[in-house]
Chain A
Amino acid sequence: MLGLGKKDLRFLLIVLLLTLAAPILLNPFAEGSAMAQFNAGYPDLMQRIAIFAIFAVGFNILFGLTGYLSFGHAAFIGIGSYAMVWMLKLLTMNILPGLILATLMGGAFALLIGYVSLRRSGIYFSILTLAFAQMSFNMAYSVLTPITGGENGLGPALGDPRILDAAAANGTIPEVNLFGLSMRATYELDLAGRVFQFNAGYYVCGLLSVLMFYLALRLFRSPFGMMLRAIKCNQHRLNYTGLHSRPYMLSAFVISGMYAGLAGGLMAAMDPLAGADRMQWQASGEVVLMVILGGVGTMLGPVLGAGFIKYCENIFSKINDHVLHDWFSIFPKWLENLLVTVVHPFVGQGWHLTLGVLFMLVVIFLPGGLIEGGQRIGRLIRRKPDAKGKAPATTPAE
């Protein structure tokens, strides 16, 4: 069904189920309990995970399949976001036109940047993309301030035309919606002290990310995907067979640019304020981290990586000294203070340190990313006698 094999279909269904049940699965701890700090089932974080999953899956089409490492993908996120907000300002608060334009703009800019950058490979390609992204960031931050809002960011205002919407009656900016369904609408379910939030915005992001995941899956299994893998294997040899490989590269680059544009558009749709910071090189580096952390070239790896990094960013960064003192208050005062001092650099503003340590551990001990970790655990549980010493059944595509 859907042009997928039986195994892939089961895989896709599992991903769909996990996405639908995320508000419950990510909220395992009762509200008000000590562990509630680690709950991740609130709309903002779930939206972010879904959005960055789209971004990372798209990036993986370029990096995972062709091996070309782009350090400038955040530029497409920013372009998508600005396109979205301008649609919200000029056309309508319905997110659909914005999402379409964001995707197209991401693709158009990818075509432009890719056309130039893909004339080189390896480190030169990476540097070229990085240069383009920094250029876009600096322009958005300074000379293009009338279009992008610069440091203030760009958001909808009361005086915007919004030609498709009826005039706002009561002096408030209408809510961002999809055919009338507000992205903010949340159904809260109270189940014996556990509160689950089912948010419309999250389901839009989540279902779109499953759709994009499905498209990527089809692409991975297609002859076109095979051609991209061939480029990664040995581009020279491919060229010697008389095949012009650059159009394939450019297509892959544009497709991943469109994924990033869509992700940027969704980001602005969930929170209608676009800042230039999301185009900075740190943001480009983050998606590389996500893909490597999860598992380069695998289907699920980038999604796991995106979830992992966004979880760390939002949960660890919120643990302040106040919370630490609460945790360790059962110990004697001197031990409590000592423990807080030891843990302090790794939480709060120091969450980057935690992420860095985890990233190092993954790269050293699990070169295949979190996916490889999962496979190893899976093999341990199943204890297949023939698995000993052999390569795992489903290797990542290098």
Chain B
Amino acid sequence: MSKLVLTRRGLLRTGAVAGAGLALPTVFTSRASAFTNEPKGGAVTLGFTVPLTGPYADEGNDELKAFQLAVKHLNGEGDGGMLSTFSSKALNGAGLLGKKVAFVSGDTQTKPDAARAAAKSMIEKDGAIMISGCSSSAVAIALQALCQEAGLINMVGLSHSNDTTGKDKKRNGFRHFFNAYMSAAALAPVLKDMYGADRSAYHLTADYSWGWTQQASMQAATEAIGWKTVANVLTPLASTDFSSYIAPVLNSGADVLILNHYGANMVNSLTQAVQFGLKDKMVNGKQFQIVVPLISELMAKGAGPNIRDIPGSSNWNWKLEDAGTKAFVQSYGKEYGAPPSQAAQTCYAQVMLYADAVARAKSFNPCAVVEALEGYKFDGLGNGPTEYRAEDHQCFKDCLVVKGKEKPDNEFDTLEIVQVTPTEKVTYAPDNKMFAGGDLGQCNPGA
């Protein structure tokens, strides 16, 4: 046992050392910032979290390509892409507020846990001022919450769940992509024309936020046109073999299979459904049909001939005829030798919108950016006239109904546009019950 002996001299000495120790930090300059990661040097860093592994890896790779292209265009390299067609002229291709745009990227593994770890290291280590990317709504919601806590802007990438701008919306988060409600609203009338009003649907649903809301939206919209819902079976996102889920469909009495799957999930489940001969079956005296409510070019490519004639919806397609789309497709094609997917387009548009908001607000402060984006109306980014609604930070724009092309002309010609559903048809009130329960909260600039 040690014994504590106090002496006057010892006490004085300890006191002096402790005092000097406490005073020490004031000798150095502590970093004071008005908001999280205020850019101090000649560069500003954007953080891109994309899935490079996991079921949505194809989308993630395409997103990263689009991000790189967007950063190039912001810095005045390349042909400028959609900068020339964008309705706002605040961006001039000379970086952002005089700073060169740099970026860091990280792999989300299509998992919320890993995504938050990647984003946290971007924020704390690389000084990222904005986080964008992601391909799964679970990841999007997790990142949006993180950015709200840390005081950053989150420009959500590919996220289709109603919850992203509904139950889990955040003041610091913005979504350009459309959502499950809009898909269902656009798709239902087309489905009625194609398959009639007397149908029984069987849902296979990815077991997370996106799958749940998409299933609920599709069920509500199809029941409104007279369809019946036979069953809804939840499948884990990580699964790759769906045969045990598809076999029961045959004997369920359903004559439509709705696959609420995305990415590699959907490629696998659709391929297996076709292998089981679902498409050639007659049930209730009607031809059996498969519907994939959310289709992308990358999934269509992965599914090959199985996607033919299968209806679904898209946010954007490279075959659209407007000037923005043409400029983007040309610029992307020159860089990578293939047309961009809808994931690439939404991510590119998000970076442009963020940069434009910074340029208009003349500040990197997240709260100024939020103010510049809320209620902002723009055009020329490939989707026609679009508005960022202030109440829930969701973009409202036209929505595409597509289907797998019967006779593709080339390997990129996988989908054909059935109809462009105008904005009014897919607009809903901010207090719609599918989006209820959330609160944007206050804008958080961090420290």
Which residues of A line the B interface, CB within 8 A?
Answer: 1, 32, 39, 42-45, 48, 141-142, 145, 150-153, 155, 158-159, 170-173, 175, 184, 186-191, 195, 197, 271, 273, 275, 277-278, 314, 317-318, 320, 322, 348-349
Partner of B236, one of A45, A141, A187, A317: A141
The reply to whether B442 and A171 contact each other, CB–CB distance below 8 Å, is yes
CA distance A153 to B115 in the complex (A): 12
User: Which B residues lie within 8 Å of A317 (CB)?
Assistant: 106-107
Interface CB pairs A-B, < 8 A, 16: A43-B124, A44-B121, A150-B207, A155-B142, A158-B439, A172-B444, A175-B149, A191-B28, A271-B116, A271-B120, A273-B145, A277-B113, A277-B114, A317-B106, A348-B107, A349-B52
Partner of B30, one of A145, A172, A187: A187
CA distance A142 to B439 in the complex (A): 28
Shortest CB-to-CB span from A60 to chain B, Å, is 24
Give the residue name and chain of the B residue nearest to A176 (CB). Answer: B149
Shortest CB-to-CB span from B114 to chain A, Å, is 7
User: Which B residues lie within 8 Å of A150 (CB)?
Assistant: 207-208
User: Which A residues lie within 8 Å of B236 (CB)?
Assistant: 141-142, 151
Partner of B125, one of A39, A190, A278: A39
- Place the interface of chain B in its size category: 35 or more
Give the residue name and chain of the B residue nearest to A188 (CB). Answer: B31
User: Which A residues lie within 8 Å of B150 (CB)?
Assistant: 184
B 405-447 contacts with A by CB, 8 A? 437, 439-442, 444, 447
- Other contacts beyond A48-B117, A159-B437: 7, CB < 8 A: A32-B41, A142-B234, A152-B138, A190-B29, A195-B31, A271-B116, A271-B120
Known contacts A42-B121, A278-B113, A318-B121; A171/B208 CB under 8 A: no
The reply to whether A153 and B441 contact each other, CB–CB distance below 8 Å, is no
Partner of B142, one of A153, A172, A189: A153
Whether, in the assembled complex, B306 has its beta carbon less than 8 Å from a beta carbon of chain A, the answer is no
A interface secondary structure, majority: mixed
CA distance A189 to B25 in the complex (A): 8
CA distance A51 to B208 in the complex (A): 28
Known contacts A151-B208, A348-B52; A273/B28 CB under 8 A: no
B interface secondary structure, majority: mixed
CA distance A186 to B141 in the complex (A): 25
The reply to whether A273 and B116 contact each other, CB–CB distance below 8 Å, is yes
CA distance A275 to B150 in the complex (A): 20
Shortest CB-to-CB span from B111 to chain A, Å, is 5
The reply to whether A151 and B207 contact each other, CB–CB distance below 8 Å, is yes
The reply to whether B30 and A190 contact each other, CB–CB distance below 8 Å, is yes
B 273-320 contacts with A by CB, 8 A? none
User: Which A residues lie within 8 Å of B208 (CB)?
Assistant: 150-152
Shortest CB-to-CB span from A196 to chain B, Å, is 9
User: Which A residues lie within 8 Å of B105 (CB)?
Assistant: 320, 322
User: Which A residues lie within 8 Å of B237 (CB)?
Assistant: 151
CA distance A111 to B163 in the complex (A): 39
Whether, in the assembled complex, B243 has its beta carbon less than 8 Å from a beta carbon of chain A, the answer is no
Shortest CB-to-CB span from B95 to chain A, Å, is 17
CA distance A151 to B28 in the complex (A): 45
User: Which A residues lie within 8 Å of B112 (CB)?
Assistant: 151-153, 273, 275
The reply to whether A197 and B124 contact each other, CB–CB distance below 8 Å, is yes
Whether, in the assembled complex, B2 has its beta carbon less than 8 Å from a beta carbon of chain A, the answer is yes
The reply to whether A1 and B2 contact each other, CB–CB distance below 8 Å, is yes
Give the residue name and chain of the B residue nearest to A153 (CB). Answer: B112
Shortest CB-to-CB span from A25 to chain B, Å, is 16
Give the residue name and chain of the A residue nearest to B105 (CB). Answer: A320
